[in-house]
Chains A and B, each alone.
Chain A
């Protein structure tokens, strides 16, 4: 397949395929599940096959003319392909895991439709080179997350889902205002034409509000722990594969490699990201709900990613990009483990768990491996991303980033050890749960080992990120 067709496959296979799910559901449930998993894999393969070609410097571009400068432009540059490959990979694993996990519940057809729509919008978002289309796909992901968070239809669940969509849509509307400011100031919304342009701080702050609300950073972070009422696959999807990564991606795309804003703005981002990283790490240390702990951990880790991307300098930027990948894999794994634990013990309260290591050894080991990667222990993948951000910060001499990073890393270590100890070690509580089903356990074990493998072969992604950074040209 040529470049443009591959790119279109990556976007439209899940986006349009999502609407075939209800049709397939008419045939039979297995047909529907098979279609969903196939579409997820096709998306990943299409995105992954773009990787080597992007590395060769081939950039696919496709434009559909719209009036008023709203042209729908897809372009597969290195950053877009990197992000697409990471998200679609984790999404595909989650889809495979879902087949067992979700099979006990109602509304499965809606679930698969929304997951694919989610994935498709994410693909659309990363390949879009037009701010208005980024916004369009941005809102589509908001819609899909609304339906998915409200998957269980109790009143509280639907309320949390409404909170999710209201917070993210409010942020998105601020972002739209910012986009319009750029449109009127610079006369275009095409990111390729905006490269190197200076935008006003107010516009940047408005866009940042949208990014922060989507990636659940302070002060918009509360919806993410609340969204934990959803099935674990959904939270995993939100945390690891798509939703919160959208914010990080948009930051890298808009402020990292495209426009230039005043110094104060970057400084503000650093402060917010630092605060967010530390405060939510603190929250993770005192929470008792397993999913809320991991959710706060995500908020905290996203803060670190922002620190890396905004610290200035190439090394930290590369570290930030790697961080996105490592965090996706590890956090996806953690949530899927939490899903197995929750399904088998029927509780989310960690004080009521304990000694699960004996009952579910594979899950426990996978959980431990993923935790080690999140903590940043060598030789796991997470170590290298943290190290690069750290080194980048040291090179540019930003003491603030260094300090936050050190404190944050220690806190991460503490809350994850506490979590692991309370859930898997300690004395056994009554009621012996069993290990999860084969596909579920295999999915988490795969993600856990992948975290290790990414550490061993960190050379390849690091090399890619480095070429990306010098090719697209991160801001200095």
Chain B
């Protein structure tokens, strides 16, 4: 654990423990308590990252791992949006706030633990804590689908945990340590390389399942679609990204240190990333359910991150991490908007929607921003992360992958413009006649996130220098 960042993990945990007592009589207090905790955390981490002294020094004054810091920021940002959103959304859906908010805070805490851990064992523990909390979160409302999704998630990610555990055992036997730093030194020394590669590949397998990369993606659409709506946003936006993709990127950072052998593993990673991009995008085109379409789009976007992680050059990591952040922002907006839409129109079936821009202009336009960013339309944030990934691929000689990645963003745009036509623009449907825009409290998170998307796009130089300074230049070359 990085000690200086410990409080980001501990404070939500305490808060989670307090809520059942404080809010026993009044459920509202749970929402307020959780939101305030997350807001305070966000302000604190935002202050660390955007401190004028830090900015002036070009981020070299930041002592901690830049990857962890950025991920903590993202976790709190998404957590706050989801907590705030479900405060107004959950009424009348049988959500027990004294369970829901503590679980949310426990997951935030577990995610902060995972991203600040400095050894594989701690990482694994926190990922498992996160998994348990998310099973419970998925079933928060009184629908049956949530339960189904949770069971699928559990059954399919359980073997993944077993694979990770096995990998940990092999690592302990061969290297005698779990610590990132020690493993790094052992890899440099060249000792017991085959065993280490084997253990890392077992872990990689496990985390790939957890991140929902093709061919391990079967659980993702069902669990995202079935969950309680704000939880879908939480899962798709950040939970599966931390429990899977974050770890994949971390492991990929180790793979590149091996002198030989491990490059095949990297190639597999790149291949799976590319397949995910393709399969996710093509499957998304065929969906009628808005949330299910977003789930497949999520698979496709994770593909970009995995593709870049597999390439494992410093520039590729910058692109991968930037895209991870961007994905959290735009996917949260889209999932939260799908929830608003369901609340206002009573359905997520795109065949029954249309012309929703008239009753719901804010929801409509925040979706447009998020969708354009996902498709990589400049000058929004998604464009920059994608172009960095593509340049990194090209630079390393993987021109075929670069061109394919480029062309698949046309497909992404394709299914999104069709989605816009079927839901927001196009002919007014019966649903659009009766629906009304949701309350400002439900819009605020989407608007905030859209602002982050636009800002991250326009302030791209800051992002880039942050990532280059705190991650790429500190990575042992």
Chain A interface residues (CB < 8 Å from chain B): 65-68, 132, 135-136, 139-140, 142-143, 146, 150, 153-155, 158-159, 162, 165-166, 169-170, 173, 176-177, 180, 183-184
Contact = CB atoms under 8 A, between A and B. Distances in A.
Interface string B449-467: 0000000000011001100
A296 to B, nearest CB: 25
Contact of A66 (B413, B428, B461): B461
B388 A68 contact: yes
Interface centre among B372, B377, B418 (most CB of A within 10 A): B377
Contacts, number: 69
Given A166-B410, A176-B406, A177-B406, A153 B355 contact: yes
A139 B395 CA distance: 24
B407 interface: yes
Nearest to B461: A66
A136 B379 contact: yes
A177 B393 CA distance: 12
Given A66-B461, A68-B388, A155 B406 contact: no
A142 B379 CA distance: 12
Contacts of B410: 166, 169-170, 173
A180 B378 contact: no
Contact of B395 (A140, A165, A184): A184
Interface in B349-406: 355, 357, 372, 377-379, 383, 387-388, 390-391, 394-395, 402-403, 406
If over half of B's interface residues share one DSSP class (helix, strand or loop), that class is named, otherwise mixed; here it is: helix
B32 interface: no
A11 B64 CA distance: 40
A166 B414 contact: yes
B158 interface: no
Which size class do B's interface residues fall under? 20 to 34
Interface stretch (B191-199, B330-338, B419-427): B419-427
Contact of B461 (A67, A173, A176): A67
Given A67-B468, A136-B378, A165-B413, A184 B394 contact: yes
Interface in B259-295: none
A170 B414 CA distance: 10
Given A158-B426, A165-B417, A177-B406, A65 B377 contact: no
B211 interface: no
B425 A150 contact: yes
Contacts of A68: 388, 391, 464
Interface of B: 355, 357, 372, 377-379, 383, 387-388, 390-391, 394-395, 402-403, 406-407, 409-410, 413-414, 417-418, 421, 425-428, 460-461, 464-465, 468
Nearest to B468: A67
A310 B372 CA distance: 35
B427 A153 contact: yes
Nearest to B428: A153
A67 B465 contact: yes
A153 B406 contact: no
Contacts of B461: 65-67
Nearest to A171: B410
B426 A173 contact: no
B464 A67 contact: yes
B377 A143 contact: yes
Contact of A162 (B378, B383, B421): B421
Given A153-B355, A155-B426, A180-B402, A169 B394 contact: no
A360 to B, nearest CB: 33
Given A68-B391, A173-B409, A184-B395, A158 B379 contact: no
A68 B461 CA distance: 9
A159 B391 CA distance: 33
B464 A155 contact: no
Contacts of B372: 143
Contacts of B377: 139, 142-143, 169
